[in-house]
Amino acid sequence: GIHSTVSAAAAATAADSEATAEQSSEAEVETAAATAAAALAAAAAAVAETAAAIAEVTGEAERPMTSTSKEETVDGSISLGQTVIWGGKTGTVRYIGEVKFTAGEWVGLELKEATGMHDGTVLGVRYFECAPKHGAFTQTAQLEVVEVTPSSTPVEDA
């Protein structure tokens, strides 16, 4: 009856559609593959950017950027390697100069005790190296220089 005629017509239409799909599908598959490859590359780039941003924020970058220190502060009052007192804490000057996290000249200290905030790396930038929790940054006005005696120049007897 009519049911078998409709079924036969539907089967013939389906067969024609499959044949047409096979002819056009090769180009469509190539286009879809290229689109998928581009999307995958974009996703991989986004993942890499996100990983780099996380590493920067956490200070866990595999190879942190480094910043080169000056030998002394602009006013000449503090030099690299000097022993200083900062807020009652003793430390050694390990970095002098600009920093990424704020404006102005900053002094990086390696504190004798583990009362600092970092290991010399802040926001993915290595300013100096010290043990964890021994690093701190401050400004020149907050430092007191510890006098080092005797002087390095020998005194000659008359």
Residue written as token pair 């043990």: 131
Is this model's pTM higher than 0.75 or not?
A: no
Half-sphere exposure of 18 (CA within 13 A, CB side): 6
Q: For position 96, what pLDDT does the model report?
A: 97
**pLDDT tens, position by position, 78-105:** 999 999 999 999 999 999 999 999 999 9
